[in-house]
Amino acid sequence: MTDWTWEYNPSEEYVADGLAPGVVAEVERLATELAALGVDAAKVGRPFDREGGLREFDILGGRGFISFLSAPRHHCIYICNITWYG
């Protein structure tokens, strides 16, 4: 277990506004798992050919994806965008 946390960036209202509660719950579950990975979260998702930067990870069987940043300096995962095709 790591000491990493996760947050919405810039805010939950901006990133998750209007999404179904089930989608938000799944995003938060995944964010918790990404935080548990710690520094290795920079290797998860797209793009596959490099580490770091803005990453994308499919949610709910490809019906959407999240964009996130892994910030080792802050020990935090920042959820920056949720794209939901519904």
The per-residue pLDDT for range 3-61, each reduced to its tens digit, is 999 999 999 999 999 999 999 999 999 999 999 999 999 999 999 989 889 999 999 99
Instruction: Give, in order, the Cα–Cα distances in Å from 27 to each of 20, 50, 77.
Output: 11, 23, 12
What local confidence, expressed as pLDDT, does residue 86 receive?
80
Amino acid letter at 68?
F
For 79, phi then psi, to 5°, come to -85, 110
- pTM value > 0.85: yes
Whether 59 and 66 have beta carbons less than 8 Å apart is answered as: yes
CB atoms within 10 A of CB 10: 10
